[in-house]
């Protein structure tokens, strides 16, 4: 019998804390964090994710702007829209909902987001900073996983962690963040040989694969912490993760459900990154206003 980690409850708690922090920010220095969410095309899953993000902004009291663009938009036009947002003082966070249409390079587009506004933490500069354990932002999904691990109270140093999946968005940064906490980390993927042998030695097993019932009971060590990052649909169209929950739950020590596990935490961490960006940008904006004033008084003389 596993303890079920309630990601929805943890995310609600974090969002309440952010709402309080936000009120204080507005009362103290009159700053309201602003998030711009760009969505290109009409992918139905992306629409749900974007609406979750806009709703969360309303809940914590941020300004938000949904920017719906045609799937026919050129890469050049999209980059121009990002540059516009980079230059706006009322926008602290910019995110481009992925995936993008095939004719647009995600690498080019993500590279154009001002690193100070990169609340998804996908730009090369911010990704590099995770690697050297000197970062401002963390990518939302792995950061959410770290919060859920913290919730168990289990010490991470020295633990055997296995991450299944090597994406730039989840697997790779997840591995870096666990290494930064002194865990021993193995990253598995589609070419891994004898996956069950590796996963069954994991104290902490994190699956980010994208296939229903991919993680079966034989792959899990007794008492392990099992974190399910997958967001899939089962044969009946119901939301499910990568883990065969009913089979694995009796064997695990802790387990996250889908829905209501990592998913809501992703959104909560986006709010955390956005308020952090707003605080840093507020200082910058004051500084640059000061410079403008200084330049003006100089030119007045």
Q: Residue 188 or residue 270: which is nearer to ligand BQF going by CB?
A: 270
Residue 49 within binding range of ligand BQF, rule CB under 6 A: yes
Query: Closest distance between ligand BQF and the C-beta of residue 188, in Å?
Result: 19
**What count of other Cβ atoms lies within 10 Å of the Cβ of residue 87?**
9
Give the Cβ contact number of residue 290 at 10 Å.
10
> Which positions are annotated as active-site residues?
53, 97, 120
52 touching ligand BQF, by CB under 6 A: yes
DSSP 99-145: PPPTTS-HHHHHHHS-GGG-TT--SHHHHHHHHTT--S---HHHHHH
CA distance 191 to 288: 50
Query: Hey, what's the torsion of the CAs at 40, 42, 43, 47, to 10 degrees?
Result: 80
User: Do the Cβ atoms of 138 and 122 come closer than 8 Å?
Assistant: no
For 10, 146, 262, the CA distances from 149, given in Å and listed in that order, are 11, 5, 11
In sequence order, which residues have a C-beta less than 8 Å from that of residue 40 and are 6 or more positions away? 69, 70, 71, 73, 78, 96, 97, 100, 101, 104
Under the binding rule (CB under 6 A), the answer on residue 231 touching ligand BQF is yes
Closest CB to ligand BQF among 66 and 279?
66
Q: Whole-number minimum distance, CB 155 to ligand BQF, in Å?
A: 27
Please state the closest distance from residue 139 (CB atom) to ligand BQF, in A: 11
Binding mask 178-217 for ligand BQF (x = CB under 6 A): ----------------------------------------
161-180 positions binding ligand BQF, by CB under 6 A: none
- At closest approach, how far in Å is the CB of 126 from ligand BQF? 17
Q: Is 85 in the site for ligand BQF (CB under 6 A)?
A: no
Q: Which of 127, 159, 264, 274 binds ligand BQF (CB under 6 A)?
A: 264
Which residues here bind ligand BQF, judged by CB under 6 A?
49, 52, 231, 258-260, 263-264, 266-267
């Amino acid at each position: 019998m596993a303890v079920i980690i309630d990601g929805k409850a943890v995310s609600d708690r974090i969002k309440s804390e952010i709402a309080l922090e936000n009120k204080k920010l507005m009362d103290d220095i009159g700053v309201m964090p602003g998030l711009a969410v760009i969505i290109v095309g009409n992918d139905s899953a992306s629409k749900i994710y974007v609406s979750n993000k806009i709703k969360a902004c309303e809940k914590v009291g941020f300004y938000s702007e949904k920017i719906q663009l045609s799937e026919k938009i050129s890469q050049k036009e999209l980059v121009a829209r990002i540059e516009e947002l980079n230059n706006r003082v009322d926008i602290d966070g910019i995110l481009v909902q992925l995936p993008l249409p095939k004719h647009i390079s995600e690498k080019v587009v993500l590279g154009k987001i001002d690193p100070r506004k990169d609340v998804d933490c996908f730009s090369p500069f911010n990704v590099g900073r995770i690697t050297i354990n000197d970062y401002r932002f963390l990518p939302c999904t792995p950061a959410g996983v770290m919060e859920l691990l913290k919730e168990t109270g289990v010490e991470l140093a020295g633990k055997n962690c296995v991450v299944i999946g090597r994406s730039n968005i989840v697997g790779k940064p997840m591995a870096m963040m666990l290494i930064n906490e002194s865990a021993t980390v193995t990253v598995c993927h589609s070419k891994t040989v004898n996956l069950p042998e590796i996963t069954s030695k994991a104290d902490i097993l994190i699956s980010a694969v994208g296939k229903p019932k991919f993680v079966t009971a034989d792959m899990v060590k007794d008492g392990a912490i099992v974190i399910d990052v997958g967001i899939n649909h089962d044969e009946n169209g119901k939301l499910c993760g990568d883990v065969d929950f009913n089979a694995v739950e009796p064997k695990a020590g802790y387990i996250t459900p889908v829905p209501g596990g990592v998913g809501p935490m992703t959104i909560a961490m986006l709010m955390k990154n956005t308020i952090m960006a707003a605080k840093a940008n507020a200082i910058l904006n004051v500084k640059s206003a000061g410079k403008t004033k200084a330049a003006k008084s100089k030119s007045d003389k």
